[in-house]
Structures are given as C-alpha cells and as structure tokens.
C-alpha cells in the first residue's frame, strides 16, 4: 500500500519535505526545504535526514522558495543521485536561489568558526559546497505544465500552475497499485487569486490523497482594491512625515508584485515623489527572469501596466533605482527622506534590510511595511507582534519607526480560497493539511468539515499516512 511520511512543514510553515513510497513508484521525495528562522542558515542544514538520500528514486519540487528547495545540495552531498523534476521556470530560478543560500551559509559558517577558533575549539567543516549545488543543477529535469513525465513503468508526474510564484506547481502523482491507478495531489503553495501578476491556481477534481497547504487557514486577505488603497494611504502618510520607507520582501514573487503595485500607483499619479530603491542583487536577477515569462503570466494584470518594450525593470517605474554593489546599497544611507527601499530578507533574518533597520528603525519619521508572512522565531515576526526593542549586530535598537502590515500582498491563498480549491475534488477524499501553524490548520480543518464534510488529518513530524 502506498504511504507518505511527513518530514517537514508538519504543523509549521517551513521545511517542506514529504516522502512518498509505493512498490510501483519507489521512494519519491516531495520538496526538500530549509527551515527558516534566525539560526536556520547554520543549524537546520546540519540536521541529518531521517531517511537515506541514496535510497531515493527521485525528487519532485513544487517551486523555488528555499523552504521548499534549500536542502537539495545537502541531499546530493549525502548520496542522492536521481532525477529532480520541476517546472521550466523553477529550473531557471534555482541557480540564483541555491548559490545565494550557499553564500549566506558559507559566511555564517566562517563567522562561527572564527568564534570557535578563538575559544580553542574544533572548527566546523562545510556540510555542502559549490560542487553540490552544481550537482543539483545537473540533475534537474525541467518539465512544462501538464506535460507527462514518466517516473517508472507505471508511474508519472504532472505539474499544474499553482499561481504562487513564477514556476510554482501543484504536483500530481499517478501510479498503478494492485491493478488500480492511484493519484496523489500535492498542492505545494497555492497562490492568492486576487493578485496582479500570477494566474489563478489550477483546480483539479480527483485524487486518492490530497496534501494541501494551510498557511492562511485561519484568515482572509484584504482584496486587491483595499490593499492598494491602504498601501497608497500608508505611503502618503509616510511621505508627509518626511521620512523613508523600508519594505522587507522576498526576492521571488513578492518583489515583482510590489513593482507592479507601485507602477499602478505611479500611473494613476498617486505615488507622491518617492524614489524606489530595489536593493537586492538577487531580486534584480530574479526579476530579469520574470521579465522573460511576462507573456505567460496574468495577461490582464501585466497588459494593463506594461506596454510595448516595457518590463518590470525596463522603463516601467520612472524612479526605480537598481542597487547591486555594497557601495550602491550603502549610498542609500545618505538619503534623509523620500526613499522607498525594497530589500531582503523577507523575514528580516539577515540581508541588506537589517542594515537599513540599523540606520532608520529608531527614528519615528520612518515607516516599516511588512508585505509577507513572518514565521515564528524571525525578527520580522517580533516586529509585527510589536517589539519595542530589537537586537542586531551585537547592539540593541529602539523600534520607533511606524510598523505597518499589508496582508493583501500575500502570495498564499486565504481561508476561503483554500476551501474553494479543495471543494472541486470528488468525495470521498483523504486529505492531509501541512505548511501551517497548528492553530491555522485546526481552524481550516473545522472550516472544511463544515463546508464540504471532509475530515482532514493534521500530521505531526514523522507521521505516516497510508492511502
């Protein structure tokens, strides 16, 4: 009998990793993601896999966010040498994501080894290297949406647009078992339908088991119209205060949506005189890939703003400045007002945004805007929850900047969208809820029981479900 064991994103929102096993299918891993948090860059990567990577037949990747793909280099370092199936756009994004993560990991490891050396203790050896990242990229099998990929004689995988970020996929596994075809659907991260850039998630109708995310299982998002109005209001108030705006944003997905929203405001003459600084080499590189795929994305949202030769980076926002080098990034510190700074990391666990905090978070004339989910244990989560003081770079800083949250920018489906998506499936249906904090998943479970009569399971780490 087929079974799935949950080794990540089980009652948490990071570290997606699920092992599917069947005689016809073999051993297939759905995602291989990092746990994200303040110490995740060094600590999570050292965790040993609870299975033998060498024994896996394949990996199927839902999308390129690090909490879904970040441990792939460690997986190959520990012996995996099979195929890694993903969409074509995901295959383009992965080199950027994995090499950036490697750089952060190596820098953190170097700092930690300096501390150990000063204490006379043994230094830590790298758990993976550039060679492992290159090995991952060599194993990729880019696959178009709805194209059949055979995993074995009687097993195939299909990808469908999840509408979350560029290349994000709903995974459909089909395989024969005891003269009967079985189907497993893994939602990956389902997108928010009310966005400018991405298409709506594809609706499917039949499965023996659905593994569905529930990040926002306990709440709804603001509508696009309400979000844009709130964004405009926050920016206008910030401008009249004579300060600067800081926006922590994920390099993949959130940054590109932000550029479109800002472009819409500028086109309507409602942006004031903000100068927009995209202070992230990674986000700039990712946006260049988005530009290549613009015709395949949400045509109405893109066509309304991009005409002729315009792209997200080219002649789209007249006041957009691309900051690549450290020197360019530091030059923003000299600007006293009118700077709108978009920088990573999205959860404020490091990156250039923390340096902008260092120079601005203690001044009340500045504004900090959160436009994405902030996981437990991150600096972003503490700020959203109202921290009055934070510690960075060995110093304590007072939080005097105005802190705002814009939930409508989320790239995840809200509660009702999750319910509507699962409602397309034929009953009876076996359902497991993952990628959500316990309270959100419990609320979603009750919602699905009331809406559809579906009794969902909420697996814990290491739990196995047969189907």
3-219+411-466 matches 224-409 in fold: no
- What's the whole-model pTM score? 0.90
CATH T-level topology, domain 224-409: Rossmann fold (3.40.50)
- For residue range 109-167, what is the model confidence (pLDDT) as tens digits? 998 999 999 999 999 999 999 999 999 999 999 999 999 999 999 999 999 999 999 99
Planar angle of CA 339, 276, 240, nearest 5 degrees? 40
The confidence score (pLDDT) of residue 277 equals 97
Q: Is residue 374 very low, low, confident or very high in pLDDT (cuts 50, 70, 90)?
A: confident
The confidence score (pLDDT) of residue 366 equals 97
The better pLDDT of the pair 343, 306 is held by: 343
Which of these, 454, 451, 457, lies nearest to 427 by C-alpha position?
454
> Torsions phi, psi of 332, nearest 5?
-65, -25
The confidence score (pLDDT) of residue 46 equals 55
Average pLDDT over residues 153-182: 95
pLDDT of 193 above 50: yes
The confidence score (pLDDT) of residue 315 equals 74
Decide: 421 and 431 in contact? Cβ < 8 Å. no
Distance (Å) of CA 437 to CA 139, 143, 186, 444: 33, 31, 18, 11
- For residue range 301-328, what is the model confidence (pLDDT) as tens digits? 666 666 667 788 877 788 999 999 999 9
Distance CA 13, CA 378 (A): 12
pLDDT of 447 above 90: yes
Average pLDDT over residues 250-273: 91
Q: Is residue 104 very low, low, confident or very high in pLDDT (cuts 50, 70, 90)?
A: confident
CATH architecture, domain defined by 3-219+411-466: 4-Layer Sandwich (3.60)
Average pLDDT over residues 202-211: 98
Q: Long-range contact list for 295-302, CB < 8 A, 24+ apart?
A: 297/166, 297/197, 297/198, 297/199, 298/195, 298/196, 298/197, 298/198, 298/199, 301/195, 301/196, 301/197, 301/260, 302/196, 302/197, 302/260
Average pLDDT over residues 419-439: 97
Average pLDDT over residues 240-269: 92
What average pLDDT is seen over the chain?
92
Q: Is residue 88 very low, low, confident or very high in pLDDT (cuts 50, 70, 90)?
A: very high
Give residues with Cβ within 8 angstroms of 202, minimum separation 6. 160, 161, 162, 163, 170
Average pLDDT over residues 405-430: 93
- For residue range 4-55, what is the model confidence (pLDDT) as tens digits? 999 999 999 989 999 999 998 999 999 999 986 544 444 444 568 999 999 9
Domain ranges of the chain: 3-219+411-466, 224-409
> Torsions phi, psi of 301, nearest 5?
-65, -40
Cis link prior to 64 (omega < 30° from 0)?
no
């Amino acid at each position: 009998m087929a079974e799935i064991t949950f080794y990540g994103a089980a009652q948490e929102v990071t570290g997606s990793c699920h092992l599917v096993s069947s005689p016809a299918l073999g051993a297939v891993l759905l995602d291989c993601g990092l746990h994200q948090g303040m110490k995740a860059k060094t600590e999570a990567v050292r965790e040993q896999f609870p299975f033998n990577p060498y024994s896996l037949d394949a990996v199927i990747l839902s999308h390129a966010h690090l909490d879904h793909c970040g441990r792939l280099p460690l997986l190959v370092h520990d012996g995996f040498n099979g195929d890694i199936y993903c969409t074509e756009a995901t295959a383009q994004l992965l080199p950027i994501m994995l090499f950036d993560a490697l750089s952060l990991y190596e820098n953190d490891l170097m700092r930690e080894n300096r501390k150990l050396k000063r204490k006379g203790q043994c230094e830590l050896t790298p758990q993976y290297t550039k060679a492992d990242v290159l090995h991952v990229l060599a194993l990729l099998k880019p696959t178009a949406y709805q194209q059949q990929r055979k995993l074995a004689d009687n097993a195939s995988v299909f990808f469908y647009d999840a509408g979350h970020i560029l290349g994000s996929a709903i995974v459909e596994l089909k395989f024969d078992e005891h003269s009967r075809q079985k189907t497993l659907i893994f939602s990956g991260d389902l997108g928010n339908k009310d966005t400018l850039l991405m298409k709506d998630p594809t609706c499917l109708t039949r499965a023996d088991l659905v593994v569905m995310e529930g990040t926002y299982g306990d709440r709804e998002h603001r509508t696009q119209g309400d979000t844009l109005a709130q964004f405009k209001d926050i920016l206008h108030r910030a401008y009249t205060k004579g300060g600067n705006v800081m926006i922590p944003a994920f390099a993949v997905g959130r940054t590109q949506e932000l550029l479109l929203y800002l472009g819409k405001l500028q086109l309507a003459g409602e942006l004031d005189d903000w100068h927009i600084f995209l202070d992230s080499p990674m986000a700039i590189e990712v946006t260049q890939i988005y530009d290549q795929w613009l015709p395949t994305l949400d045509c109405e949202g893109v066509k309304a703003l991009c005409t002729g030769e315009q792209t997200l980076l080219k002649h789209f926002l007249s006041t957009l400045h691309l900051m690549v080098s450290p020197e360019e990034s530091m030059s923003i510190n000299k600007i006293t007002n009118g700077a709108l700074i978009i920088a990573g990391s999205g959860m404020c666990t490091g990156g250039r945004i923390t340096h902008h905090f260092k120079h601005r978070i203690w001044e009340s004339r500045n504004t900090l805007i959160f436009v994405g989910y902030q996981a437990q244990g991150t600096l972003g989560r503490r700020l959203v929850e109202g921290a009055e003081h934070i510690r960075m770079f060995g110093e304590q800083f007072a939080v005097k900047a105005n802190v705002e949250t814009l939930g409508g920018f989320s790239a995840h489906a809200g509660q009702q969208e999750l319910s509507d998506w699962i409602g397309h499936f034929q009953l009876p249906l076996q359902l497991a809820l993952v990628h959500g904090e316990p309270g959100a998943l419990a609320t979603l479970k009750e919602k699905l029981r009331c809406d559809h009569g579906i009794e969902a399971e909420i697996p814990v780490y290491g739990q196995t479900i047969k189907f």
